[in-house]
Amino acid sequence: MTAQSKSDASGNLSRMISNLVGYGTVVATLLMLLFFLVVPVSVIMVKAFYNDGHFTLDYFRLMFANDLQTTAIMNSLYIGLATTVITTILTLPLAVINAKFEFPGKGILSGLLLVPMVMPPFVGAIGIQRFFARRGSVNLQLMEWGWISEPIEWLGGTNMFWAVVILEVLHLYPIMYLNLSAALANIDPSMEEMASTLGVKKWRQFKDIVWPLARPGYFAGAIIVFIWALTDLGTPLLVGYHDTMPVRIFNMVTDVNENPVGFALVFVVICVTVLIFMLSKLMFSGKKYEMLARGHVTSAVKKIGFVKALPIYFILLAVVAAALFPHFSVIITSLSDKWFMTVMPDNYTTKYYEMIFQTELPMIGIKNSLLFAGLSTLLDLVLGMLVAYVVVRKLVPFSGLLDSLVMVPLALPGIVLAFGYVVTYSDTFLDPLNNPIPLLVIAYAIRRLPYMVRSASAGLQQTSASLEEASATFGASRFYTLRKITVPLVTANLIAGGLLCFAYAMLDVSDSLILAMKDKYYPLTKAIYALFLEQGKGEFIASALGVIGMGILAACIMGASLILGKKMGELFRSG
């Protein structure tokens, strides 16, 4: 065999391996999305309109004829809208402060603003109930001061709605803050400097220059905030506000065949989600604003001293205090002993933490979540790295489409997928009533796959392809190059993405509450919910278990934040 023929054979083998990596990854990803994303959603949509093989709109007529169902739909929409509006009002000045000013302690305060990400709002609801109950700490303190004569129903009537909204805001504002901060940081400051030179007022600069350029980043965060608040199950469930779509769907899971209105209700959730995304795309399909340059904002950051920064400290500390209150309330509840009709506990104890390791259900929850989250994270690591590699290195002609497809789960509500799994895979070998482990692992993996893809893509974009080309020149296979060169270079990004995938899988709410139907399969969040419903010590053990979960999530997110830095917000974008 001549040298030329050997070279041709080597080149053909290299192309075959490249195609195997590229198209193999595409096929594996498409199959996973087909069976565990497209099929469950399609089954729900078909069942919403068909009864015994005949097209019908009866389920929708029944749903809209029922005042309880229509009220639930409107309440969920109001929760999503109110959360998004309040989050915007809260985070816009915070993001501007972060982008425009440098002051002593900025790093610490900016870090504290992200603390709410370490705890799902449904865990905070446990402590909030203890403080804001009719005979809770707040009312007792106000009565002790003589400010009120009768207890205020903080969590009764319409106040329950605002309790849910406030908890959602305090948990979700970091996502909006990260997206807005990243968007403002990427604006070329010379554009504002030029406007100032021409005498344009500050408010006009913001309206005509800053906002149009930052708007895509804002809407990327706003969409996630709206859909998350709209479809959150845990918070209204624990607050006791059951007139919402997610809670209605949750209550219909066990009798969906007898009460098919649940199909129509889930279809409404899907329609709202799709409509929000379509509107966002239409808003940006026309006029676009671009810059010739990006970044270099340090030249535009204004340095101020401690005294001049006092108003900023006041704003940031007020937000941090409000954001930390649910965490504080859960910790106090978990440590309380003999807490009855007093503002704060008479005694403190760690016995409820000890009971976690002495009681069966909490240990089942911890062990199951560690197992399920670990398996789903491993699946995300392998598939996410391969997808990112195919997309960034453009191994297939339609890599951009593949990237868009794997981002879909980030926006699709978890309650829709979980409901779809129950409906689609009941009476099969994947029936969650018999063994929910496969579906729980897959559900966790699919919903967190975008985090891993985004994180790995960020690392690959910063890694020169010339190193891989040099390896191929010396005869190394694509797999060998990927394993020995590419993966080690993006290890930090993979660790960051893996930490986020693991953390959010550990404290997943919708999939865990719906799919885990037997005690022995309860993940951490389902164990917390079950303990919370128990009379007596259940609430305190649930709080202690929530604090442990909060600690795990905090460690993971802090690790990911240290690795990714300002790019953290890129992981929470829906498109």
Sorted by where each begins, the domain ranges of the chain are: 12-49+364-575, 61-327
Mean pLDDT confidence for 399-411: 79
Is residue 211 over pLDDT 90?
no
- Look at the alpha carbons of 179, 182, 185, 191 in this order and tell me if their dihedral is positive or negative: negative
Determine the residue type at 9: A
Per-residue pLDDT at 495: 81
Bigger pLDDT: 472 vs 305: 305
Predicted TM-score of the model (pTM): 0.82
Q: Which of 232-236, 361-365, 500-504 has the lowest mean pLDDT?
A: 500-504
542 contacts: CB under 8 Å, gap ≥ 6: 126, 528, 529, 531, 532
**What confidence tier does 258 reach under pLDDT thresholds 50, 70, 90?**
low
Is residue 17 over pLDDT 70?
no
Report the distance separating Cα 364 and Cα 374, nearest Å: 15
Is residue 2 over pLDDT 90?
no
Bigger pLDDT: 2 vs 162: 162
Is residue 198 over pLDDT 90?
no
Per-residue pLDDT at 522: 95
pLDDT digits (tens, 9 = 90+) for 444-481: 999 889 888 888 887 787 777 777 777 767 766 667 77
**What confidence tier does 325 reach under pLDDT thresholds 50, 70, 90?**
confident
Same fold: 12-49+364-575 with 61-327: yes
Is residue 193 over pLDDT 90?
no
Per-residue pLDDT at 296: 46
pLDDT digits (tens, 9 = 90+) for 343-391: 888 889 999 999 998 889 999 999 999 999 999 999 999 898 888 888 8
Is residue 557 over pLDDT 50?
yes
Give me the phi and psi of 260, to 5 degrees please: -70, 0
Is residue 515 over pLDDT 80?
yes
Per-residue pLDDT at 371: 94
Mean pLDDT confidence for 292-311: 67
Determine the residue type at 230: L
Give me the phi and psi of 127, to 5 degrees please: -70, -35
Nearest Cα to 303, choosing from 93, 565, 106?
A: 106
Q: Which of 284-288, 349-353, 499-503 has the lowest mean pLDDT?
A: 284-288
Tokens representing 122?
């449904």
Strand partners, 348: 336
Contact 566, 182 (CB under 8 A): yes
Report the distance separating Cα 163 and Cα 407, nearest Å: 31
pLDDT digits (tens, 9 = 90+) for 89-137: 999 888 888 878 888 888 788 777 877 776 666 777 887 888 888 888 8
Mean pLDDT confidence for 390-409: 80
What beta strand segments (E) does 158-201 contain? none
Bigger pLDDT: 193 vs 535: 535
Per-residue pLDDT at 188: 65
Mean pLDDT confidence for 403-428: 86
Per-residue pLDDT at 500: 78
Contact 322, 115 (CB under 8 A): no
**What confidence tier does 538 reach under pLDDT thresholds 50, 70, 90?**
confident
Is residue 573 over pLDDT 70?
no
Nearest Cα to 297, choosing from 214, 177, 176?
A: 214
Average pLDDT, the chain: 82
Tokens representing 522?
């309860």
Determine the residue type at 508: D
Angle made by CA atoms 268, 255, 276, in degrees to the nearest 5: 15
**What confidence tier does 279 reach under pLDDT thresholds 50, 70, 90?**
confident
Percent pLDDT > 70 in the chain is: 85
Report the distance separating Cα 400 and Cα 404, nearest Å: 6
pLDDT digits (tens, 9 = 90+) for 27-56: 888 888 889 988 999 999 898 898 877 888
Report the distance separating Cα 378 and Cα 477, nearest Å: 24
Is residue 297 over pLDDT 50?
no
Tokens representing 299?
């030249």
Nearest Cα to 178, choosing from 575, 574, 571?
A: 571
Determine the residue type at 271: C
Determine the residue type at 197: T
Is residue 506 over pLDDT 90?
no
Percent pLDDT > 90 in the chain is: 23
Is residue 567 over pLDDT 70?
no
Question: 61-327 adopts what CATH topology?
Answer: MetI-like fold (1.10.3720)
For the purposes of burial, counting CB atoms within 10 Å of the CB of 331, is it exposed (0-12), middle (13-18) or buried (19 or more)?
middle
Tokens representing 524?
């951490």
- Look at the alpha carbons of 24, 28, 33, 35 in this order and tell me if their dihedral is positive or negative: positive
Mean pLDDT confidence for 320-341: 86
Per-residue pLDDT at 39: 92
Question: 12-49+364-575 adopts what CATH topology?
Answer: MetI-like fold (1.10.3720)
Q: What is the dihedral of CA 273, 274, 278, 279, to 10 degrees?
A: -30
Mean pLDDT confidence for 291-309: 64
Tokens representing 46?
């078909």
Is residue 206 over pLDDT 80?
no
Contact 176, 87 (CB under 8 A): yes
Bigger pLDDT: 202 vs 56: 56
Q: Which of 287-296, 303-312, 489-498 holds the top average pLDDT? A: 303-312
Mean pLDDT confidence for 74-89: 94
Task: Report the relative pairing of strands 50-51 and 54-55 from DSSP bridges.
Answer: antiparallel
Report the distance separating Cα 262 and Cα 255, nearest Å: 9
Contact 565, 152 (CB under 8 A): no
385 contacts: CB under 8 Å, gap ≥ 6: 452, 456, 487, 490, 494
